[in-house]
A and B are shown apart, each in its own frame.
Chain A
């Protein structure tokens, strides 16, 4: 079956809804400390990238956007919009890899891992080094060098989280699916 980049089926909607709930949960509670204070690997971005690769850019973008906005508002009472938008953008770009993958048919080899990671890194760099700082400056008038430093750190950490956790999840998931044409006639 041919995959369309921007289809919006019932499954896309449900995946968005539940994915965002999962993202919120992980974003709030499941962080892996790196050893450096105040910097943590957000497992949520791994899941965001995973959903983006499985269900496409719309799901990916919305999962991260809703998830981040919700966890911000639950934890802090108000939302830091520039970073929420950047989260959405990073997973949206990562989701562009969706038509190129065949994970649900059990195929996720070394080549696919590379493809996934290229998109994921590009997405993270664009959103955290460009989108987030620029919005921070425009909307909140934050100092320039601070936001770009924060953005660079976030880009590195989130790429690692998305790359590591996303790839592991995709490999594991592809193994649970039966491959196309894996049955042989005896």
Chain B
């Protein structure tokens, strides 16, 4: 278990110097554009784009390797399950049926199904580099500031910034408690029976949760004493001014979103790109 999940290291390049607000807006635009489109050409285009952003940010591949493995496992599961449950969903969507070969009467492999499932996987995979860029290049404290600036109430934004602030603490706490309990003979490994193991997990969680409750009391008193929430608005120490590059980046991402919508509405006539008719 690593405590440095959000290992934000400041660097000096174009992506890092964009304001958190810009990165949030771009992330939302790009996510929505792939989420709405089922056109593999467009999804691939966004994939390439987010790959370029990743390259530009100067992040290294090893920082996302573990994550990539998780994603691949998840996507393979999804691929298999989709096929098991509805092997004929592709033909249903596209309205045609180009059969490649047949396993039995229910499970046939069709071009439509392959296209549908590949698109779906790409839709998901395309956002991984972008998400990583967003997560690893945004200063966590600046993130709350940018959320507030896109219209989220500052109290809500503050809750999120507290989450990011206390998450590493929580991991450390959890490890301390787990080690303390294990040294007292609590077994969490596979050797123990399932029921006992469940009870042992609870024995670690309970002190963690109750110490968190104490902490909530402490922090909220401290914030109240400093007059938190008295005014309708607040300013942020870490908020960055919006510069020329920010406007350009936002414009590009807005264009990508507009392109996705335009493609769905005007060119394809639906969310799906149908090469079979």
Name A's B-contacting residues (CB within 8 A).
8-11, 13-22, 24-26, 29-30, 32-33, 35, 38, 41, 43, 47, 50, 54, 62, 66-67, 70, 73-79, 81, 139-146, 149-150, 165, 168-169, 172-173, 176
Contacts and interface: CB of A to CB of B under 8 A. Distances in A.
Given A25-B167, A169-B206, A77 B271 contact: no
A62 B156 contact: yes
B74 interface: yes
Given A14-B220, A24-B167, A77-B71, A140 B206 contact: no
Interface in B205-237: 205-206, 208-210, 212-213, 215-217, 219-220, 223-224, 228-229
B48 interface: no
Nearest to B117: A143
Interface residues of B, number: 69
B212 A13 contact: no
Nearest to B38: A141
B220 A169 contact: no
Contact of A11 (B160, B171, B216): B216
Given A75-B70, A78-B131, A169-B206, A32 B155 contact: no
17 contacts: A13-B162, A17-B161, A18-B215, A21-B164, A21-B169, A33-B194, A62-B156, A74-B6, A75-B70, A77-B129, A141-B93, A141-B271, A141-B272, A143-B85, A144-B86, A145-B86, A168-B202
Contacts of A73: 131, 135
Nearest to A69: B160
A141 to B, nearest CB: 6
A110 to B, nearest CB: 21
Contacts of B201: 30, 32, 43
B71 A76 contact: yes
Contacts of B127: 77-78
Nearest to B155: A13
Contacts of B81: 146, 150
**Most chain A CB within a 10 A radius of its CB, from B77, B170, B228:** B170
Contacts of B93: 141
B128 A78 contact: yes
